[in-house]
Chain A
Amino acid sequence: QKEVEQDPGPLSVPEGAIVSLNCTYSNSAFQYFMWYRQYSRKGPELLMYTYSSGNKEDGRFTAQVDKSSKYISLFIRDSQPSDSATYLCAFDGLTFGKGTHLIIQP
């Protein structure tokens, strides 16, 4: 079993839709959960950071962590074409998923 599983996509949704991005993990020792956004040919940019189960909201973004199920999610409300990018989940800052390529259609 891989340490982190993330569907690479592409995931294509219309503008304004709610987007759900997910990762599962196997290492129960992970304590910190991050989501990064990476535009093409750029470095990753930290979007959300949390260390507890539950929800954390920041503007249009909500990060959700379920430690019992070893599952994390990122929700994007009112999606915009500028949200089109690759979204990477990360654990303890050092273990990354493969990234999900998201396309928001105008």
Chain B
Amino acid sequence: EAEVAQSPRYKITEKSQAVAFWCDPISGHATLYWYRQILGQGPELLVQFQDESVVDDSQLPKDRFSAERLKGVDSTLKIQPAELGDSAMYLCASSSQGGHEQYFGPGTRLTVT
């Protein structure tokens, strides 16, 4: 069964350091999403890609966060510099073009110390 892959699964970093997360969506899925989920909350959309183009990044803190999907397949989310408040689960999801059903990866749990 096709799955969304994410790495690393866990990351501990010190504040002010840079950190990057990687996502490989289900093959053929044109739409890719990055979410942040704080413990006890629902996922919050950070950025949405359609192929290699950003569709919505209105909730992405652009002073420290960046996301790219250069070839329209896998994607990287970067935080620089990390802050204590960035500790959360970072989830990647994908969907087929025009589809509303999203398939989530296992997430990357980030702890900033």
Q: Which residues of A line the B interface, CB within 8 A? A: 4, 6, 8, 32, 34, 36, 41-46, 49, 88, 90, 92-94, 96-99
- Distance (whole angstroms) from the CB of B9 to the closest CB of chain A: 9
| Known pairs A6-B42, A97-B42, A98-B40 / 17 extra A-B pairs, C-beta < 8 Å | A4-B42, A8-B40, A32-B100, A36-B104, A41-B109, A42-B107, A43-B4, A43-B104, A46-B101, A46-B103, A88-B42, A92-B100, A94-B45, A96-B43, A98-B41, A98-B42, A99-B42
Q: Which residues of B contact A (CB under 8 A)?
A: 4, 33, 40-45, 48, 91, 93, 95, 100-107, 109
**A96 with B91: in contact, given A42-B107, A43-B104 (CB under 8 Å)?**
no
Beyond A49-B100, A93-B95, A93-B101, whether A43 also contacts B40 by CB under 8 A is no
Assembly CA distance A4 to B43 (angstroms): 13
- Are A43 and B107 in contact, CB atoms less than 8 angstroms apart? yes
What number of A-B contacts does a CB cutoff of 8 Å give? Answer: 48
Contacts A32-B100, A93-B95, A93-B100 hold; do A43 and B42 have CB atoms under 8 A apart? no
Task: Name the residue on B nearest A31 (C-beta).
Answer: B100
CB distance from A28 to the nearest CB of B (A): 18
- B104 near A45 with CB under 8 A, answer yes
Most buried by A among B33, B48, B102: B102
A94 to B45, CA, bound (A): 7
The answer on a CB contact under 8 Å between B100 and A44 is no
- Residue on B nearest A94 in the bound complex, by CB: B45
